[in-house]
Amino acid sequence: RIALRRMPSIRQTLQEMGVKVREVFPELRRGTRRGGDGPRNGTAPTPLTNYLDISIGTPAQTFKVVFDTGSANLWVPSYKCSPLYSACVSHSRYDASKSRTYIANGTGFAIRYGTGSVKGVLSQDIVMVSDIPIVQVFAEATALPAFPFIFARFDGVLGMGYPSQAIDGITPVFDRILAQQILQEDAFSVYYSRNAPLKPGGEIILGGSDPAYYTGDFHYLNVSRSGFWQISMKGVSVGAEMLFCREGCSVAVDTGASYITGPAGPVSVLMRAIGAREVAEGEVSARPAGPAPPLLPGPVPALSPPLQFVVDCEQVPQLPNISFHLGGKVYGLSGPAYVLRQAQYGEDVCVVAFSGLDIPPPAGPLWILGATFIGHYYTKFDRRHNRIGFAAAR
């Protein structure tokens, strides 16, 4: 069992500093188009505010990492990272020279992001996840882009995806744990607390689930794309009307994402259907919702959208349900479930937790269910049977 810690997201950190996202990332201004082949694993561009602690080395060096089902590698900043990379200096760094169980590998490693690449070298050491020690090959990041990582409160990323997603063919952490045959089930479950002041922010259970976190039974869907935590969806409804995905579509269930993400066009239509307005970062004057701009490509969450969809806070209780049709069941979210009340630059703003992101083939088009959804539906990732289960969260 692993407790999750709730911490400020990159967006919240910027707001505390009085800095607007679009001032830090000029390429995110409206109308800017970026090339590239899009996200390598289809995660939404909004960071989780829940992180977990792991340790690497002997004696243990502790790191805060994002738990990400949309990727399959473990990386943390390295002590070898030059002070010129300010994002390295502001985070915990792995020092191989202080670990007596370190084994050099030296193979180069890189993950591409929209604002640059995380680069480094592979190393091997003992990694402790919860109380489970494993011998793990991981990446020491020796080059870390200042933006957005200098604003991130997490140190690195722990990928929980399938081995086929792993860069350089590295066996993922969870597969190393499975090989020890110590878990009750070849599965893990994720619970996110919806009570903002509550600590911890949730819990990850390796090897099963906890009935205290859900009511009723789990309902399972087989993964629709081999080697990825993706399933088939049969529709997206607003109120009683099915608006999208009538012919079926793919959806990724991603613990490394906060928002629910869909293709930009349908998300804009959906926002108009609930009466949401589109506002630029830090603005309160509204304009009709239009197509969402393309967002930063990247294999893990980095930044929330530069244009937000907002609603009048007093209207939130009257908003229609938005429902997802999955495996013969309908999973609905009420207005208060998909709207986040945030203080932005001295004002209360009610932000709709949806974003538009066009992921090109073959990975896309793709919908992504992040923490907004998982917080209401306790989620179990079953590797033995290659399926994902949902149950109503308590």
Q: What is the pLDDT of residues 331-356, one digit of tens each?
A: 999 999 999 888 776 778 899 999 88
User: What's the farthest any 2 CA atoms get from each other in the chain?
Assistant: 61
The whole-angstrom separation of Cα 367 and Cα 355 is 10
Residue 94 has pLDDT above 90, yes or no: yes
Q: Is 21 helix (H, G, I), strand (E, B) or coil?
A: helix
Which helix or strand (DSSP H or E) is residue 266 part of?
Answer: helix 264-273
Contacts of 247 (CB under 8 A, 6+ apart): none
On the question of pLDDT at 289 being above 80, the answer is no
Domain 211-393 class, CATH top level: mainly beta
Strands of 274-319, DSSP E:
277-280, 287-288, 307-311
Q: In the chain, helix, strand, coil percent, each to 5?
A: 15, 40, 45
pLDDT score, position 290: 33
Q: Which one is catalytic: 125, 155, 254, 382?
A: 254
Cβ proximity of 34 and 28 under 8 Å: no
Q: Fill in the amino acid letter for 64.
A: K
Per-residue pLDDT at 98 exceeds 70: yes
Return residue ranges of the chain for CATH 2.40.70.10: 2-179, 211-393
210 CB contacts (<8 Å, ≥6 apart)?
1, 189, 191, 203
Per annotation, catalytic residue among 68, 125, 358, 382:
68
Q: What is the pLDDT of residue 45?
A: 29
Identify residue 272 by its one-letter amino acid code.
Answer: R
DSSP annotation string for 232-244: EE-EEEETTEEEE
Pair 73, 164: CB distance under 8 Å: no
Most confident range, picked from 30-34, 145-149, 282-286: 145-149
Active site residue 254: yes
Whole-number pLDDT of residue 50? 64
Region 299-304 average pLDDT:
38
Reported as a pLDDT band with limits 50, 70 and 90, residue 70 is: confident
CA atoms of 164 and 85, how far apart (whole Å):
31
Distance from chain centroid for Cα 156: 13
Q: What would the mean pLDDT of 212-228 be, rounded to a whole number?
A: 95
Q: What is the pLDDT of residue 364?
A: 85
**pLDDT-derived band at 66, boundaries 50, 70, 90:** confident
Is pLDDT above 70 for 6?
no
Nearest one of 47, 88, 60 to 303, comparing CA atoms: 47
pLDDT of residue 67: 86
Q: List the 277-280 sheet strands across, edge first.
A: 287-288, 277-280, 307-311, 347-352, 339-344
Q: Give per-residue pLDDT as tens, 154-209.
A: 899 899 999 999 999 999 999 999 999 999 999 999 998 876 554 557 889 999 99
Q: What is the pTM of this model?
A: 0.82
375 has a pLDDT exceeding 80 = yes
2-179 falls under which CATH superfamily?
Acid Proteases (2.40.70.10)
Q: pLDDT at position 310, please? A: 93
Is it the case that residue 8 has pLDDT exceeding 50? no
**Is cis: bond before 200, omega within 30 of 0?**
yes
Mean predicted confidence (pLDDT) in 84-96 = 90
34-47: average pLDDT: 31
Min mean pLDDT across 224-233, 292-301, 310-319, 363-372 is at 292-301
DSSP 376: T
